[in-house]
Structure 1
Amino acid sequence: MTGRTTEQHMEHGKQGDAALIALDWGTTSLRAYLFDAAGKVLDTRVSTAGIMNLPVPAEEGGFDAAFEEACGMWLAAAPSLPVLAAGMVGSAQGWVQAPYVETPAGEDALVAGIVKVRAASGANIAVVPGVLEPGALPNVMRGEETQIFGALGAQEERETALIGLPGTHAKWVVVEGARIARFYTFMTGEVYAALKAHTILGRTMKHPAAPDTAAFLRGVMVAREHGSAGLLATAFSTRTLGLTDQLAADEQPDYLSGLVIGHELAGLEAVLARRDVALAACAPQLIGADALCERYRLALAQFGCTAAQIVREATERGLWRIAVRAGLVGAAV
């Protein structure tokens, strides 16, 4: 399957002002940014050529082909542009493996762990490593670390920060002293999709015409108030409430979404409490798709956490910050 690249915008300046190419290269997509010397995005290109969806197999030059398709026009105009990449492109299945750095991990550790790969075009790509939290139950991230440092922005002076990244594998990250101290991964999105598509719960569901916030919040509250036995116990209520005419078929998908997110937040609340931190007293920063982050913001409010904020352009800011720290570009004046 061929990765198709499309130009998104060229709003902030001219390509002749370009200073950096930065890539957010994940499993299913590639997003390329062209920055000017002030750290502003000049142009963006998006491709479906994630590492598992290259134009041709990796052993036949798939990474080179995807890179050329996304960035060839920019490099043709300015062949000496530095290139930085983050995400699954640095995994064992990526273009080059950038080994994890261990927590606590700051920007300097990420820069020290950068691994370079040379493209067929001659461009040298600096690949950002992921982060490993070692232990009896190790935890890893790759790509999120860049977004986290982008979200910190002017918040570095804060002693601690709680950052949430909703998605297929949701992550909650505790930052201390501008370093990733520890983090928790919840397979919320993947479990929701599996329950909906591959269990009996999906048999009675009907896709709603529009998101049902009331049904979603009902699920969140069930997880919070009746979830002590865990998701394996409460998930079946999606079916039984339907069978007893207490939950309409088109309410069930949002109810189940609320359940799984509610259990995630209950788990987060519990692990924070072990360190004498109250979730309700936190002001989390949320990174991700606006609609999903808004769902999390509503769900967090049910746990008494009303100060959550959605952070936008965290990826762009994080890529630029790491590029500056790595000396690929000068700091914006």
Structure 2
Amino acid sequence: MRWAEGFIAVDWGTTNRRGYLIAPDGRLVDEMEDDQGILSVPPGGFPEAVAQLRSRLGDRPMLMAGMVGSNRGWVEASYVPCPAGLREIADSLRWAEPGWIAIIPGVSYASGPAADVMRGEEVQILGAVAQSMVGADALVCHPGTHNKWVRLKEGRITSFRTVMTGELFSLMKEHSILSELLSRPVEIGEAFAAGVRRGLDQDDLTAELFSVRARVLLGKAERGDAASYASGLLIGTDLRIGLRGAPDGEIAVMGRPELTRLFAAALEMAGREPREIDGEEAFLAGARQLAELI
């Protein structure tokens, strides 16, 4: 079966996976999502896991992105070094099954002591460029478990930096002394804004995180505001890192809407102009572009 007759795009992460059935004309005709990330697949279990995807979405060629191509995934697809565009990505696909299942490589960045890697985000970012959702020369903020600040030049990823904001909040929510205080939903309000301002202005994150609990105990803050303040504090610190040396102009905020809205609000508080882009739409655009290059 030829790729032009339709294919399945898979975004297979550490804890979740999403699959999309793409018709020959590029339309999305079916999709699925579950919690069967790579960590839930037993040794030697990827062929069965792929068969489950086919039983749900049909017997089509597959294009897979994300941690499935890592050294903990199915077949390791080596990183493409920056600068990287769609052509470089397509030329470095790793075939789990020749002509039938292609695994997309991640992107790496190394300059002096700096070292960074991504897997999956590159499909969204370059897909967004191809569909003119993002300019060819832009700064992209990609919130997630590991937030990415990505510089684009002439439509290629030239450098990026990862900040572990999402994972830190999750760890604190589940395993820290703050866990009881962080159970409520994060709301964009005064507590969130106060946290963002503190994160932007001060370099005392680890001390300020402890004060989240102390302020509640001493009656200086409301218990119900703790999660919003802590989230704002982490995001403000994230922005301080990502905006260092950033050019003026619009910043694309790409990912899941529940995350992009928080970062977009924080960027506005920092005096920057954000534009939210749906990560799923961008991923599908990237997958379609790569399928055309196969």
TM-score normalized with structure 1 length? 0.80
**Offset of residue 222 of structure 1:** 1.6
- 2:212 matches 1:238: yes
User: Cα distance 1:87–1:265, how it changes in 2: closer, same or farther (>3 A)?
Assistant: same
Identify the residue that residue 266 of structure 2 maps to in structure 1.
299
- 2:254 matches 1:322: no
User: Cα distance 1:163–1:95, how it changes in 2: closer, same or farther (>3 A)?
Assistant: same
**Offset of residue 52 of structure 1:** 0.9
Identify the residue that residue 8 of structure 2 maps to in structure 1.
21
Aligned partner (choices 264, 269, 291) of residue 243 of structure 2: 269
Identify the residue that residue 31 of structure 1 maps to in structure 2.
18
Aligned residue pair count:
289
Amino acid of the residue matched to residue 250 of structure 1?
G
Identify the residue that residue 6 of structure 1 maps to in structure 2.
none
2:147–2:163 Cα contact (<8 Å) kept: yes
Distance 2:284 2:253 in 1: 15
Aligned partner (choices 35, 44, 48) of residue 65 of structure 1: 48
- Pair member with larger Rg: 1
- 2:140 matches 1:163: yes
Aligned partner (choices 63, 81, 89) of residue 68 of structure 2: 89
3-state SS of paired residue (1:37)? coil
Distance 2:103 2:290 in 1: 11
3-state SS of paired residue (1:97)? coil
1:156–1:177 Cα contact (<8 Å) kept: no
Distance 2:122 2:186 in 1: 33
2:16–2:36 Cα contact (<8 Å) kept: yes
**Offset of residue 84 of structure 1:** 1.1
Amino acid of the residue matched to residue 255 of structure 1?
Y
1:147–1:315 Cα contact (<8 Å) kept: yes
Q: Quick check: 157-166 or 39-48, which moved more?
A: 157-166
3-state SS of paired residue (2:138)? strand
Give the 5 Å matches for 1:47-196.
47-54=34-41, 57-59=42-44, 62-72=45-55, 74-76=57-59, 81-118=60-97, 124-135=100-111, 136-155=113-132, 158-196=135-173
Distance 2:109 2:37 in 1: 25
Q: Structure 2 stretches of 5 or more lacking a match?
A: none
Aligned Cα root-mean-square deviation (Å):
2.2
**Offset of residue 179 of structure 1:** 0.5
Identify the residue that residue 197 of structure 1 maps to in structure 2.
174
Q: Structure 1 stretches of 5 or more lacking a match?
A: 1-16, 327-333
3-state SS of paired residue (1:201)? coil
Distance 1:73 1:255 in 2: 42
Distance 2:268 2:225 in 1: 21
3-state SS of paired residue (1:182)? strand
Distance 2:53 2:278 in 1: 26
2:137–2:153 Cα contact (<8 Å) kept: yes
Distance 1:217 1:157 in 2: 27
